[in-house]
Structure 1
Amino acid sequence: MAALDRLDVKLLRKVQADSSLSLAELAAEVGLSSNACWKRLKRLGADGYIQRRVAILDRRKLGLGTTAFVLVRTDQHDDAWARTFADAIAGISEVVEFYRMSGEVDYLLKILCSGIEDYDRIYKKIIRAVKLRDVSAFFAMEQIKFTTEVPLDCVEV
């Protein structure tokens, strides 16, 4: 894996802010020829820095205006249980983020849904999947900051 230079970081910053920019626009933004820009993008993808390019959808327009953060506690910690739980959660499309945690909470889920009744439907899927000790949900009142951009200011070049 090649080390990143300042042009790589500049290119990553631009492409993660707007992946719909054309190759010519990206090249002009970072000060490269289109060919050099394309080669860098190809290398950054091959090296795993760029995993994929996506469109960010407006969840509210799609009827998913409620965000629930769900804390899960369990008494089960063996590999088979964890695999079963992870597979079950992976099958619930409304769970958009899923983390194994340290501390008193074992797992954290971020769920997008249409409201409390919709959350209850998803909650029932979760508790049917495996034996859990406790499931607690917290509902976001307001989204103050949202970004998909990885901070690049701390990347050494």
Structure 2
Amino acid sequence: MDIFDQTDARILKELQQDATQSLEALGDSIGLSRNACWRRIRALEETGVITGRVALVDPEAADLGLMVFMQVRTHSHDPDWQTNFKKATRTIPNILSVYRMTGDLDYLIRARVRDMAGYDALYQQLIHLVPIADVAASFVMEEIKDGTALPL
């Protein structure tokens, strides 16, 4: 079952590039009236296709220029540990993404910090909240592509 049609896909492509554009401008670019655009956007929000609208902030301007990927291994896979880990990672603002993985590592964390001291503070905060068997970190030297738009 398709969640959205080609017109909705065109709306979503446009909004992923610039969600601040007016309904008039959006309608002009895809050939719909302002009201038709509004109804479709509202339906996409109600069905959960559009999950939110955000402003993307320059990490350097926020003094969070260092991106780190933390590879986490744990000795525990019981439900209580997983619940505590989820809660801990969701409460730390510098942690942007957390993924449970297959393969050699258990979790991958993407975080933004100011510098190495900021990373150490993040690391200390995390291990204080939940026991972890091993953490390895990789620091981003150059961001070649970091997008948010899904290919529709």
Shift of 1:2: 6.2
Partner of 1:117: 117
Q: Which consecutive unaligned segments of at least 5 residues does structure 1 have?
A: 153-157
Secondary structure of the equivalent of 2:20? Answer: coil
1:3-82 pair list within 5 angstroms: 3-82=3-82
Aligned partner letter, 1:18: D
Secondary structure of the equivalent of 2:11? Answer: helix
What is the CA deviation profile of residues 35-87 of structure 1, one whole-angstrom value per residue up to 9, with x for unaligned ones? 11111111111111101111000111111100000000001000011001110
The CA distance in 2 between the partners of 1:37 and 1:127, in whole Å, is 47
- After the TM superposition, list the runs of 4 or more consecutive aligned residues in structure 1 that deviate by more than 4 angstroms: none
Distance 1:136 1:42, change over 3 A: same
What is the TM-score with the length of structure 2 in the denominator? 0.97
What is the CA deviation profile of residues 71-122 of structure 1, one whole-angstrom value per residue up to 9, with x for unaligned ones? 0000100001100111011110000011111111000000100010110000
What is the TM-score with the length of structure 1 in the denominator? 0.94
Shift of 1:6: 1.3
Aligned partner letter, 1:19: A
The total of aligned residue pairs comes to 152
Partner of 1:100: 100
The CA distance in 1 between the partners of 2:35 and 2:121, in whole Å, is 51
The CA distance in 1 between the partners of 2:76 and 2:3, in whole Å, is 41
Partner of 1:155: none
Secondary structure of the equivalent of 1:110? Answer: strand
Q: Which consecutive unaligned segments of at least 5 residues does structure 2 have?
A: none
What is the CA deviation profile of residues 119-156 of structure 1, one whole-angstrom value per residue up to 9, with x for unaligned ones? 0000001111122110000000000001110111xxxx
Shift of 1:3: 3.9
Report the RMSD for the aligned CA atoms in angstroms: 1.1
